[in-house]
Structure 1
Amino acid sequence: MTDTIAWDVYAKSSKQRRQVNAAGQTTWFNWTQYPDHGPGAEILDIGLGSAVLELGCGTGGNLAHLATLGTCAIGVDVSPAQLAIAKDRWGYMSSLEWEHAEAVAYLTQTGEEFDAVFSVFGAAWFTDPDVLLPLVRKRLRPGGVFAFSHRPAIEGCYGRQAAFINRSENEDPRWDYEPDRWVGILAEHGFTATAEVLPAPPGDRTVGTLLVHAQA
């Protein structure tokens, strides 16, 4: 994810996270594109004191929820506009750290190790897995979790695809695969993985959410 302009535009035009969810909570974890739907932070298998990294943290809502669970959380994003929104809303949380960087560059340069690395409609969708996965694997502690979610692939459109957000001429491509193929790709890079498409909530919505869980 390197197109800063596209993601800055997206940050300024997208609807921001609500102040509370349907359960009245001020922080929560959401893997899907639908509010109050799907699993939560339990997918990451983390606890008090865990070190967690989000690749493409955006405006920080998911990461802020992890901070309330007692984790030490770092969010990385290429967009200054996204990070400004995150800091404005969640800056009072002392266990949160924000890094303005591209995901591959950060993983290459950091010496930190993590219990979990995750991406929600973020860098894992917009980065070549053959580049990203070895770097994530290197930064995970033994048994650590790498999990990510994004829209499922369109049938017949697999591998490197045109970007989902049409914001600029140089915007980032995305990588789309079926669940079984993601399991195979992750295995090639030393992970044990599961992958599934979570169905959309009841109603007129038809597009589910790909959710991938891998362990080092």
Structure 2
Amino acid sequence: MTEENVTDTTAWDTYARRKPGGRRERNAKGESTWFNWTQYPDHGPGVDVLGQQDKAAFLELGCGTGGNLAHVATLGHRAVGVDVSPVQLDAARERWGDLPGVELHQRGALDFMSETVERFDAVYSVFGAIWFTDPDQMLPAIRKVLKPGGVLAFSQRPPVEGCYGCQASYVTQADDPNPLVVKRWDYQPDMWADRLKQHGFRYALANEITPPDGWKTGTLLVRALAPGA
């Protein structure tokens, strides 16, 4: 996880240090890498959400410790990950740094996209930078770095009913009773679809993935295509 609306990395380094350990060595199928859009293990769709492509260039915004990015690389794709937290990226490099195709950058998502000249076949974010950045800044930036017809996909927690737009997220600190506050942007599925269309994306679709049995909170998954071919 990462975000774009803080001037330092304190909140996200704190989050990285306090969250449970990194991705398991193997999933329920015995795979050493896999793609997971939801907050639950062995649940939900996989990398096919990003399209069936050969030797593509993928950009992850808020790559965290790099588990999804590593899976993209094992499929033969160019896997570029961006995150503001050095703690997250240190963990990613320790586990996945020698994997061919993985490229990691400690940058804010908007900063990286404003500077790169590369164009990507897909841009994605899993509970990451897209959730924590004003979409009126983020969506035009993503359009700029996507190839014509490229895929944008992201997941996040569904909104609390009636609480839409910019909201507050809290990151607790071990030795401080006052949590760190960061911004996030929550919308219902139809709101996301409309906002994507306003920014020129095509075939925008947003839906909630039902949680596993015994859990109440689903996952909002949003997908659209850049204009063009």
**What TM-score does the superposition give when structure 2 sets the normalisation length?**
0.91
Q: Which has the higher strand share?
A: 2
CA RMSD of aligned residues (A): 1.2
**Matched residue, 1:69:** 75
Q: In 1, distance between residues paired with 2:71 and 2:62?
A: 16
Matches within 5 A, 1:120-131: 120-131=126-137
**Matched residue, 1:189:** 199
Describe the SS at the equivalent of 1:172: strand
**Matched residue, 2:116:** 110
**Matched residue, 2:13:** 8
Q: In 1, distance between residues paired with 2:19 and 2:98?
A: 23
Q: Percent identity?
A: 56
Matches within 5 A, 1:148-187: 148-166=154-172, 171-187=181-197
Runs of 4+ in 1 over 3 A off after TM superposition: 164-171
> Which residue, 207, 210, 214 being the options, matches 1:199?
210
Query: Partner letter of residue 202 of structure 1?
Result: D
The 8 Å contact of residues 171 and 179 in structure 2, kept in 1 or not, is answered as no
Query: Partner letter of residue 179 of structure 1?
Result: P
Alpha-carbon deviation of 1:166?
A: 4.3
Q: In 1, distance between residues paired with 2:172 and 2:156?
A: 17
Query: Partner letter of residue 220 of structure 2?
Result: L
Alpha-carbon deviation of 1:10?
A: 1.2
> Which residue, 116, 136, 145 being the options, matches 2:151?
145
Describe the SS at the equivalent of 2:208: strand
Q: In 1, distance between residues paired with 2:146 and 2:53?
A: 15
Say which is worse superposed, 72-81 or 103-112, in terms of deviation.
103-112
Matches within 5 A, 1:81-92: 81-92=87-98
1:42 equivalent in alignment to 2:48 = yes
The 8 Å contact of residues 47 and 69 in structure 1, kept in 2 or not, is answered as no
- Is there any run of 5+ residues in structure 2 with no aligned partner, and where? none
The C-alpha deviation readout for 1:156-200, integer Å capped at 9, x for no partner, is: 000000025345766420000000000000000011210001110
The 8 Å contact of residues 83 and 98 in structure 1, kept in 2 or not, is answered as yes
The C-alpha deviation readout for 1:15-61, integer Å capped at 9, x for no partner, is: 21100001100000000000000000000004231000000000000
